[in-house]
Amino acid sequence: MKLTEAQVRYVADLANLSLSEEEIGRMVHHLGGILEHMDQLAEIDTEGVAPMTQFLAEAEDTATLREDVERPCLSNEAALENAPVSGDGYFKVPRVIER
């Protein structure tokens, strides 16, 4: 698939990045190249190729779940210790949803 400038602008906006015209041109080229590579990979005939295995391939669906038991966790105070700004038990960050 061919990446468009509009798509790069849209993704940059979602990521809260401001790109110059020159950078947008570069991203169309670089990101587009990655997507084109994916298209090439998708063309490979994988019919009859056994899936690669990994350690949980043969495990039960619930193998990674644990018992739901009460246990101690980080205190609110400890969790906020590194926050430059906090208040009312929360991290305070600049508003990013509406700009």
Taking CB under 8 A as the rule, which mask of x and - marks residues 37-76 in contact with other proteins? -----------------xxx--x---xxxx-------x--
For the chain, counts of helices (H) and of strands (E): 3, 2
CB-count exposure of residue 8 (10 Å: 0-12, 13-18, 19+): buried
Q: How many residues bind other proteins (CB under 8 A)?
A: 13
**Is residue 78 within the footprint of other proteins (CB under 8 A)?**
yes
- Conformation bin of residue 92: beta by default, left when phi > 0, alpha when psi is -120 to 50: beta
- Asked if residues 31 and 4 have their Cβ atoms less than 8 Å apart, the reply is no
Among residues 43 and 77, whose Cβ is nearest to other proteins? 77
How far apart are CB 64 and other proteins at their closest, in Å? 4
Q: What does the binding site for other proteins look like in residue numbers (CB under 8 A)?
A: 54-56, 59, 63-66, 74, 78-79, 81-82
